[in-house]
Amino acid sequence: MTDKVAIVTGASSGIGAATARALHGAGYVVYAAARRTERMADLDAAGIRTMAMDVTVEESMTSGVERALREAGRIDVLVNNAGYGSYGSLEDVPLSEARRQFEVNVFGAARLAQLVLPTMRAQGSGRIVNISSIGGKMYEPLGDWYHATKFALEGLSDSLRVELRPFGIDVVVVEPGAIRTEWGRIAADNLLERSAAGPYAKQAAAVAGVLSVYERRPGLVSPPEVVARVVLAAAGARRPKTRYVAGRGAKVVLFARWALPDRGFDRLLQIAYRLPG
């Protein structure tokens, strides 16, 4: 493979950086996009084309897609990976932050899809890979807005998959579980900043302890390369699955969510997170 072109967002670290490397290693021309371009020097040195992109800024997304088309002439794969976790009680999280969470995790992905779809339709082929989470199928206390964005991304992806089928374009959802990235620390920091004091303090301490396991106890989580391999398989499969699950424990959690009634899963969370009450 020498002529396939991929754009990967959120590529400055973690899943995005690992995915950019995996696609590049498989022969794709890769455009790795992120706000923090200084953290992509190793990707640039490896021959991956890096570019600044903020998925909350229209001109930034437009110019990035235009550059890929100008230089490579086509876009075959869009990996919507940019995202973050904004935790805190519903009372404590300002609506401005809730809106930003949706801008990054949902609207940025949707806008980039809008920008690449005319090219993909003209080609008669293309693949959009949306990095969701097992958080798009389950829930946690104090994760209201984060889970809302992932549920939204799942619904958007399903609808989009059906409407794009006549044009030869596939939409794939990847649902990582616990992955060793800075995501957990950022989510825990956000949570404690907003809800460490007040009526939700005990819940905040319990949930932050679970989130911090992503970096504090790497043996319980999978490396980002696990997700990157799944994305590579989804990008290259002749007939991809609609969903791929990746990461240690992800299938177990999803099975529990499927098998248990809501109150039963509530109780499971209370035990697993050692929640008060």
Catalytic residue numbers? 146
Are 81 and 60 spatial neighbours (Cβ–Cβ below 8 Å)? no
Determine the residue type at 40.
M
How far from the centroid of its chain's Cα atoms is residue 256's Cα? Answer: 22
Burial string for 6-15 (b: 16+ CB within 10 Å, else e) reads bbbbbbbbbb
Taking the C-alpha atoms of residue 125 and residue 170, their distance in angstroms, rounded to an integer, is 8
DSSP-derived 3-state class of residue 177: coil
Q: How far is CA 29 from CA 2, 3, 35, 46, 76, in A?
A: 7, 7, 20, 12, 10
Longest dimension (CA), the chain: 58
